[in-house]
């Protein structure tokens, strides 16, 4: 394996530093926290959007292009005959120095060429609908430098899907306005849109371009745009075709002199009646206001400091010092950062998700918020209500919804029978973090229909009922279109390549397809539901109602456990499912895919058959049959041929994606199973295999994708290229890695009444200290493992030993000593 390195961690600044622009894949970062977002690669590629990457795409991007990662925000520096970009691309002029620092909500790209340094800081200030690009040009040479600077952005005509399709219309609709140093993009504003975008720079410009063909030249590329190569802007005004924005600035720098320019890419919405100030002339007041807030270096530096403060505060909530840098940097920085990103984007916009295909997933968002809830609980609360509002009265749910409209997505519909359980998973995590039971009284509609509102608690109840009301011949949950594994399409099978694996529901009547994964998920979330009911009955003082509900559900859980023990156990592991015809899936009797990971994870977390030794055996089978150098594969052996009645899973070549790839998302399920079983050594060794910082040094080139975040899938042992990673950033892996390490390995678990301390560690673990802000309390918790893998002997809070291992919640600062 090649030993080349492309970058390294800088923990002190919470950055990943990329030192070679030719990374094995674009290594990206996300800018923006709430409304205005950007994706930015290490060569400044990427795009921006407002809230919804499909419906409010601000700048254009071409996926999967030649060369890779083409289009973005580019600065061209023309120094004599040499033209270069600080981020290397698109000119690819060899630089004397290149560095990209991806940090928390910002990226700084620096290039140097022939004695000139160009450093650009990209970020989206808090509560601001704009991306700041602060460019600093420095003359590090001994001579006076006269430079020509061109900025470049390409506008997307808002709907990113039609922008790529409907050229017969698009080529006639594009419109811009130019006012001083600001270029406005107002396509479709004359009709139904009340929003426009702008690109501004805080200095006088000596020219501009807004028409792509004029600026680039029809048969040129971003690497030889006519205007730049000739050093002469055309002052073009776009009418239709492809509008862009480029400023032209002439810069003279004395030796040692440095100049800052603040570029702003902004987005504005106007009230209908304030759209225009004159016929066809857009009202620019709101744009002016944004510009005014950020038109000097000082103001921008202040906004940047605020962003850094914001991240300081967020990352202060849970902070560990173990003395192991690789672990600490993932726990304290990158894992939490990735959780915020997945919370924001679900599976919509990354360099593997086009932003046009998918909205917010029902199950995905519930899992994401569990990784995020400790950071900004009110946003998790809002998300829970939004998600629950897309549920149907029978407990089923839309599988996805659009972030802009918050409406269920009809293209995909519902029928994924694991979905309802995840609402309990998410809601319980929120209440445990915050102690805010009032969320259960919120009135929440079904399918967003006014008048259909019931309490959120009622939504949880119908969620549980949905499983109970949809049991199959073995009294196990019917799978519906699919459970967590979107590719195990036991009722959607078809020979027609034009039909979707996900929505071709040709065989739902009379199906016998049942899921052991949902069975385990039902038991885990069911136990949470029962505990919640018990808590509510304590809280309300009137025990009757809730304790009856607890009893009812406990009976259903007991029945499910019995069903799994009876018909869900294969001898050495849990079965995965029964297919449409009632045949076993994931059994020793099967020709291929004899064992699957999902049911091992969920049934061990549920501790089904622990007394009978099932849990231990299943965990051992994961080690024996699923584990490999890079993690645990999803199933084993891989499918080598397409199985018509299983669907998409067997469509993948061996070792990739759901067909025996290492689906990082579900490794933590087994790891948590290990933790619950008290097997700390095993839990840790599984965990370390998919911990990015552990993989970083070994696999800089093989792994390909960003070494600072988890990816969805690492090619498994049966793949042509084992260890190759794909689908980075937007994956439930982030939340699950967080839950695993924060609550199960390091062992700090929010409960309704306090913080439970229950670590599960490798024998080699040393003493460690965790700072945990929890509601209005702040705990400093030091754990002394004493070579033990599990089991807390004593907890001492502020000098007083307590009963049990749950620190009762009380506001204020506390010091806690834990002996294992």
**Catalytic annotation, residues:** 486
Sole window of 191-199, 202-210, 358-366, 544-552 interacting with ligand NOJ (rule: CB under 6 A):
358-366
Instruction: Kindly tell me which of 150 and 736 has the beta carbon lying closer to ligand NOJ.
Output: 736
Q: Which position among 486, 514, 607, 627 is part of the footprint of ligand NOJ (CB under 6 A)? A: 486
Contacts of 324 (CB under 8 A, 6+ apart): none
Closest approach of Cβ 346 to ligand NOJ, in Å?
Answer: 8
Closest approach of Cβ 715 to ligand NOJ, in Å?
Answer: 16
Nearest-CB residue to ligand BGC? 486
- With binding defined as CB under 6 A, does residue 648 bind ligand NOJ? no
Query: ω into residue 90 within 30 of 0, thus cis?
Result: yes
Closest approach of Cβ 665 to ligand BGC, in Å?
Answer: 9
Question: Per DSSP, which regions of 140-242 are E strands?
Answer: 145-158, 176-179, 182-185, 195-201, 207-211
Q: Which position among 654, 658, 674, 696 is part of the footprint of ligand BGC (CB under 6 A)? A: 658
Closest approach of Cβ 347 to ligand BGC, in Å?
Answer: 7
Question: Rounded to 5 degrees, what angle do the CA atoms 625, 628, 629 make?
Answer: 165
Residue 696 site contact among ligand BGC, ligand NOJ, none (CB < 5 to 8 Å, cut-off depends on kind):
none
Task: Give the bridge partners for 197, in sequence order.
Answer: 185, 267
Contacts of 510 (CB under 8 A, 6+ apart): none
Tokens 């018990």 belong to which residue?
534
Binders of ligand BGC in range 548-577 (CB under 6 A): none
Instruction: Kindly tell me which of 513 and 618 has the beta carbon lying closer to ligand BGC.
Output: 513
Closest approach of Cβ 658 to ligand BGC, in Å?
Answer: 5
- With binding defined as CB under 6 A, does residue 432 bind ligand BGC? no
Q: Which position among 153, 658, 706, 758 is part of the footprint of ligand NOJ (CB under 6 A)? A: 658
Please state the length of the chain: 820
- With binding defined as CB under 6 A, does residue 481 bind ligand NOJ? no
Q: Which position among 124, 429, 487, 593 is part of the footprint of ligand NOJ (CB under 6 A)? A: 487
Closest approach of Cβ 492 to ligand BGC, in Å?
Answer: 12
Contact in structure between 7 and 18 (CB atoms under 8 Å): yes
Closest approach of Cβ 651 to ligand BGC, in Å?
Answer: 8
Instruction: Kindly tell me which of 59 and 485 has the beta carbon lying closer to ligand NOJ.
Output: 485
Task: Give the bridge partners for 49, in sequence order.
Answer: 37, 57
Closest approach of Cβ 201 to ligand NOJ, in Å?
Answer: 39
Sole window of 152-160, 361-369, 547-555, 776-784 interacting with ligand NOJ (rule: CB under 6 A):
361-369
CA distance 285 to 192: 19
Instruction: Kindly tell me which of 15 and 486 has the beta carbon lying closer to ligand BGC.
Output: 486
Query: Closest Cα partner for 130 from 48, 74, 248, 59?
Result: 48
DSSP codes of every residue in 657-680:
TTBT-EEGGGHHHHHHHHHHTT-H
Contacts of 288-295 with CB under 8 Å at 24 or more apart are 290/128, 290/129, 290/130, 290/264, 290/266, 291/182, 291/200, 291/202, 291/264, 291/266, 293/128, 294/125, 294/128, 294/130, 294/132, 294/202, 294/262, 294/264, 295/202, 295/262
Max Cα–Cα distance, the chain, nearest Å: 86
Contact string (CB under 6 A) for ligand NOJ, positions 599-638, x = contact: ----------------------------------------
Contacts of 725 (CB under 8 A, 6+ apart): 699, 703, 704, 705, 711, 713, 714, 715
- With binding defined as CB under 6 A, does residue 284 bind ligand NOJ? no
Closest approach of Cβ 501 to ligand BGC, in Å?
Answer: 7
- With binding defined as CB under 6 A, does residue 347 bind ligand NOJ? yes
- With binding defined as CB under 6 A, does residue 372 bind ligand NOJ? no
Sole window of 87-95, 173-181, 484-492, 682-690 interacting with ligand NOJ (rule: CB under 6 A):
484-492
Contacts of 538 (CB under 8 A, 6+ apart): none
Instruction: Kindly tell me which of 387 and 487 has the beta carbon lying closer to ligand NOJ.
Output: 487
344, with CB counted inside 10 A (0-12, 13-18, 19+), is buried
Query: Closest Cα partner for 17 from 107, 86, 102, 104?
Result: 102
Closest approach of Cβ 330 to ligand BGC, in Å?
Answer: 24
Closest approach of Cβ 484 to ligand NOJ, in Å?
Answer: 4
Q: Which position among 284, 657, 717, 749 is part of the footprint of ligand BGC (CB under 6 A)? A: 657
- With binding defined as CB under 6 A, does residue 486 bind ligand BGC? yes
Tokens of 155: 């506008």
Residue 260 site contact among ligand BGC, ligand NOJ, none (CB < 5 to 8 Å, cut-off depends on kind):
none
Number of residues this chain uses to bind ligand NOJ (CB under 6 A): 9
Instruction: Kindly tell me which of 486 and 570 has the beta carbon lying closer to ligand BGC.
Output: 486
- With binding defined as CB under 6 A, does residue 484 bind ligand NOJ? yes
Closest approach of Cβ 331 to ligand BGC, in Å?
Answer: 26
- With binding defined as CB under 6 A, does residue 353 bind ligand NOJ? no
Contacts of 56 (CB under 8 A, 6+ apart): 49, 50, 158, 195, 267, 404
Instruction: Check the CA dihedral 156-161-164-167 and report its sign.
Output: negative
Q: Which position among 38, 365, 485, 788 is part of the footprint of ligand NOJ (CB under 6 A)? A: 485
Contact string (CB under 6 A) for ligand BGC, positions 716-745, x = contact: ------------------------------
Residue 484 site contact among ligand NOJ, ligand BGC, none (CB < 5 to 8 Å, cut-off depends on kind):
ligand NOJ
Residue 485 site contact among ligand BGC, ligand NOJ, none (CB < 5 to 8 Å, cut-off depends on kind):
ligand NOJ
Would you give the distance in Å from CA 277 to the centre of its chain?
Answer: 41
CA distance 132 to 153: 13
Tokens 């069975």 belong to which residue?
519
Instruction: Kindly tell me which of 387 and 487 has the beta carbon lying closer to ligand BGC.
Output: 487
Instruction: Kindly tell me which of 484 and 684 has the beta carbon lying closer to ligand NOJ.
Output: 484
Closest approach of Cβ 42 to ligand BGC, in Å?
Answer: 26
- With binding defined as CB under 6 A, does residue 364 bind ligand NOJ? yes
Contact in structure between 185 and 176 (CB atoms under 8 Å): yes
DSSP codes of every residue in 426-454:
HHHHHHHHH--GGGGG-EE-STT-TT--E
How crowded is the C-beta side of 340, counted as CA atoms within 13 Å? 21
Tokens of 745: 């390995």
HEC readout, 214-276: HHHCCCCCCCCCHHHHHCCCCCECCECCCEEEEEEEEEEECCCCEEEEEEEEEEEECCHHHCE
DSSP codes of every residue in 707-739:
TTS-EEEE--TTSSSTT-EEEESSSTHHHHHHH
- With binding defined as CB under 6 A, does residue 487 bind ligand BGC? yes
Query: Closest Cα partner for 592 from 572, 576, 569?
Result: 576
Alpha carbon of 65 to those of 70, 115, 425: distances in Å? 7, 33, 39
Sole window of 469-477, 480-488, 527-535, 614-622 interacting with ligand NOJ (rule: CB under 6 A):
480-488
User: Is residue 617 within a helix (H) or strand (E), and if so which, with residue range?
Assistant: helix 614-621
- With binding defined as CB under 6 A, does residue 363 bind ligand NOJ? yes
- With binding defined as CB under 6 A, does residue 660 bind ligand NOJ? no
CA distance 432 to 712: 28
Binders of ligand NOJ in range 691-710 (CB under 6 A): none
Residue 73 site contact among ligand NOJ, ligand BGC, none (CB < 5 to 8 Å, cut-off depends on kind):
none
Instruction: Kindly tell me which of 209 and 486 has the beta carbon lying closer to ligand BGC.
Output: 486
Q: Which position among 103, 361, 586, 759 is part of the footprint of ligand NOJ (CB under 6 A)? A: 361
Sites of contact with ligand NOJ (CB under 6 A): 347, 361, 363-364, 484-487, 658
Sites of contact with ligand BGC (CB under 6 A): 486-487, 648, 657-658
């Amino acid at each position: 394996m090649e030993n080349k390195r492309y970058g390294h961690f800088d923990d002190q600044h919470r950055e990943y530093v990329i030192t070679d622009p030719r990374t094995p894949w674009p290594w990206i970062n996300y800018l923006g926290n709430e409304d205005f977002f950007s994706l930015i690669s290490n060569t400044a590629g990427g795009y921006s959007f407002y809230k919804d990457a499909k419906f409010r795409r601000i700048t254009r991007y071409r996926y999967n292009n030649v060369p890779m990662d083409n289009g973005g925000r580019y600065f061209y520096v023309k120094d004599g005959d040499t033209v270069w970009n600080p981020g290397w691309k698109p000119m690819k002029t060899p630089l004397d120095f290149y560095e990209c620092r991806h940090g928390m909500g910002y990226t700084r790209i620096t290039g140097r060429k022939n004695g000139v340094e160009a450093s650009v800081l990209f970020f989206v200030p808090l509560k601001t609908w704009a991306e700041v690009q602060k460019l600093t040009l420095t003359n590090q040479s001994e001579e006076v430098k006269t430079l020509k600077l061109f900025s470049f952005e390409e506008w997307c005509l808002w709907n990113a899907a039609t922008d790529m399709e409907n050229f017969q219309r698009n080529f006639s609709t594009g419109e811009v306005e130019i006012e001083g140093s600001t270029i406005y993009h107002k396509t479709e504003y004359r009709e139904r849109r009340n929003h426009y975008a702008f690109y501004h720079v805080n200095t006088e410009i000596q020219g501009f371009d807004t028409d792509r063909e004029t600026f680039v030249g029809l048969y040129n590329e971003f690497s030889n745009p006519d205007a730049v190569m000739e050093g002469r802007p055309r002052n073009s005004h776009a009418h239709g075709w492809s509008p862009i924005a480029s400023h032209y600035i002439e810069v003279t720098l004395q030796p040692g002199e440095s100049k800052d320019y603040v570029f702003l890419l902004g987005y504005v919405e106007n009230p209908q009646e304030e759209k225009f100030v004159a016929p066809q002339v857009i009202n620019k007041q709101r744009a002016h206001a944004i510009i005014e807030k950020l038109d000097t270096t000082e103001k921008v530096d202040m906004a940047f400091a605020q962003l850094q403060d914001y991240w300081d505060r967020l990352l202060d909530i849970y902070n560990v010092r173990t003395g192991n840098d690789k672990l600490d940097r993932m726990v304290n920085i990158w894992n939490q950062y990735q959780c915020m990103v997945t919370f924001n984007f679900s599976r919509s916009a990354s360099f593997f998700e086009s932003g046009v295909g998918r909205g917010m997933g029902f199950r995905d968002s519930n899992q994401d918020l569990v990784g995020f809830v400790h950071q900004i609980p009110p946003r998790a609360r809002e998300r829970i209500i939004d998600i629950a509002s897309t549920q149907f009265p029978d407990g089923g749910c839309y599988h996805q919804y659009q972030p802009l409209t918050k409406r269920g997505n009809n293209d995909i519909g519902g029928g994924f029978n694991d979905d309802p359980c995840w609402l309990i998973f998410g809601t319980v995590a929120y209440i445990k973090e915050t102690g805010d039971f009032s969320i259960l009284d919120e009135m929440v509609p079904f399918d967003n229909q006014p008048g259909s509102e019931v309490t959120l608690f009622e939504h949880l109840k119908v969620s549980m009922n949905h499983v109970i009301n949809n049991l199959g011949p073995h009294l196990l949950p019917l799978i519906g279109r699919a459970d967590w594994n979107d590719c195990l399409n036991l009722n959607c099978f078809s020979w027609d390549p034009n039909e979707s694996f996900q929505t071709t529901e040709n065989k739902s009547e009379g199906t016998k397809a049942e899921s052991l994964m949902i069975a385990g998920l039902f038991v885990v979330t069911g136990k949470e539901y029962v505990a919640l009911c018990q808590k509510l009955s304590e809280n309300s003082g009137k025990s009757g109602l809730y304790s009856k509900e607890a009893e009812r559900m406990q009976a259903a859980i007991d029945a499910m456990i019995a069903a799994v023990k009876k018909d869900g156990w294969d001898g050495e592991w849990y079965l995965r499912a029964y297919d449409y015809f009632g045949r076993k899936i994931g059994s020793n009797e099967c020709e291929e895919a004899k064992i699957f990971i999902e049911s091992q994870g969920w049934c061990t977390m549920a501790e089904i058959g622990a007394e009978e030794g099932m849990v231990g055996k299943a965990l051992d089978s994961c080690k024996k049959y699923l584990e490999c150098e890079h993690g645990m594969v999803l199933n084993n052996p891989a499918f080598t041929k397409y199985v018509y009645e299983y669907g998409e899973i067997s469509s993948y070549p061996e070792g990739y994606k759901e067909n025996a790839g290492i689906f990082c998302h579900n490794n933590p399920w087994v790891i948590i199973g290990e933790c619950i079983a008290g097997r700390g050594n095993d839990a840790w060794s599984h965990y370390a295999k998919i911990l990015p910082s552990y993989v970083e040094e070994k696999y800089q080139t093989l792994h390909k994708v960003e070494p600072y975040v988890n990816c969805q899938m690492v090619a498994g042992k049966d793949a042509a290229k084992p260890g190759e990673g794909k689908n980075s950033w937007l994956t439930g892996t982030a939340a699950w890695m967080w839950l695993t390490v924060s609550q199960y390995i390091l062992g700090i678990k929010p409960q309704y009444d306090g913080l439970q301390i229950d670590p599960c560690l490798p024998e080699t673990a040393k003493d460690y200290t965790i700072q945990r802000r929890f509601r209005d309390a702040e705990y400093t918790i030091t754990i002394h493992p004493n070579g033990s893998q599990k089991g807390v002997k004593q907890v001492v809070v502020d000098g007083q030993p307590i009963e049990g291992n749950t620190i009762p919640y009380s506001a204020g600062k506390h010091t806690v000593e834990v002996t294992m």
